[in-house]
Amino acid sequence: ALPIFLLFLSYVIIRSAEQCGRQAGGALCPRVQRGPAPGPGRPTNLISRETFDWMLLHGNDRACPARGFYTYDAFIAAASSFLTFATTGDQATRKREIAAFLAQTAHETTGGGGWAAPDGPYAWGYCYNKELNVE
């Protein structure tokens, strides 16, 4: 599966000046590396698989079209390729950055508000990996 960041950031990269990425012969984009992030700021030191699964509470529910798409391993791989993601400040600050990212992207990938979903509609973030009702 595509890493979660590449999914969400592909829009930005595609809309860039095409100086990096697939459209530029595979040139790395600024502040992106291949391989794991160095040192103690590695995402695996900041969020456990259990916490990730709890934050994406219904991400693997049978009712979710993107079930199995957003995985902990894909998140860690993608997060590790961005040198500045969750690497500055103390540990609490780095954890807040991860939590804020997951909250924002969960909001953008849920079925939306206004429906009587168990645990509330935003607990169903990461149920979709394609835009619905695009007009």
Catalytic sites, residue numbers: 108
Compute the distance between CA of residue 129 and CA of residue 39 in angstroms, rounded to an integer.
Answer: 31
Residue 1 and residue 71 in contact, taking contact as beta carbons nearer than 8 Å: yes
Contact 72, 49 (CB under 8 A): yes
Q: What are phi and psi of 41, to 5 degrees?
A: -85, 5
CA distance 128 to 131: 7
